[in-house]
Amino acid sequence: MDSVDIKIEGGAELARRLRGLTDRIMTNVLRGMVLAGARVIRDAARAAAPILQGEAIRRHFGEVAYRVWLGVGGDPGYLKKAGIIASGGRGTRDEVVARVGITHEAFYGGFVERGTVHAPPHPYMRPAADGSASGAVSRMTAYAGERLDKEAAKNA
Per-run averaged pLDDT (10 residues), the chain, 156 residues: 61 70 80 92 91 69 68 69 81 78 84 83 91 91 88 77
Residue 138 in any domain: the answer is: yes
Residue 6 in any domain: the answer is: no
Q: Which domain holds residue 75?
A: 11-155
Residue 54 in any domain: the answer is: yes
- pLDDT in the model for residue 68: 66
- pLDDT in the model for residue 69: 63
- pLDDT in the model for residue 38: 92
Domain tally, the chain:
1
- Among 114, 95, 88, 85, residue whose Cα is nearest residue 1: 114
Report the C-alpha gap between 49 and 148 in whole angstroms: 34
Residue 97 in any domain: the answer is: yes
- Among 44, 73, 48, 61, residue whose Cα is nearest residue 107: 61
- pLDDT in the model for residue 126: 92
Full DSSP string of 136-147: HHHHHHHHHHHH
- Among 32, 132, 139, residue whose Cα is nearest residue 87: 32
Residue 69 in any domain: the answer is: yes
Residue 1 in any domain: the answer is: no
